């Protein structure tokens, strides 16, 4: 998941999907400075990471964000950040001689 989120184009795709609700690769390619083929590859990575899901609507594949997966990741990152904040505060206290 983190590898999927590390790419700025994929984050922009997620933002665009969140704004649209759902969209095709063609619609996304019209909004982003990459080709439709590149969008399809990025969507495949996001799909494998569980961040988007696609379904067929006639001849088109339509994609939408899976907010639950992002929520799980955000909560984990919040807990990790809190742990590091506590550790860094302890280091600061030691360094300042408190």
Give the global pTM: 0.78
Q: List 65's β-bridge partners, or say none.
A: 52
For CA atoms 67, 73, 79, 82, give the dihedral sign.
Answer: negative
Q: Which CATH architecture has domain 1-65?
A: Orthogonal Bundle (1.10)
Show the tokens assigned to 65: 């964000």
**Tens-place pLDDT, residues 16-49:** 999 999 999 999 999 999 999 999 999 999 999 9
pLDDT band at 88 (very low <50, low <70, confident <90, very high): very high
**CB contact at 8 A, 29 and 12:** no
Kindly state the tokens that stand for 94. Answer: 């030691």
The per-residue pLDDT for 72 is 87
Domain definitions of the chain by residue range: 1-65, 67-98
Residue 67 structure tokens: 């907010």
Query: What was the pLDDT predicted at 66?
Result: 93
């Amino acid at each position: 998941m983190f590898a999927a989120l590390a790419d700025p184009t994929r984050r922009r795709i997620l933002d665009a999907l969140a704004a649209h609700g759902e969209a095709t690769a063609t619609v996304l390619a019209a909004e982003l400075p990459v080709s439709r083929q590149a969008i399809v590859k990025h969507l495949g990575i996001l799909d494998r990471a569980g961040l988007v899901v696609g379904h067929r609507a006639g001849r088109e594949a339509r994609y939408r964000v899976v907010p639950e997966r992002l929520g799980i990741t955000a909560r984990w990152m919040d807990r990790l950040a809190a742990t590091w904040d506590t550790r860094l505060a302890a280091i600061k206290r030691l360094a300042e001689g408190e």
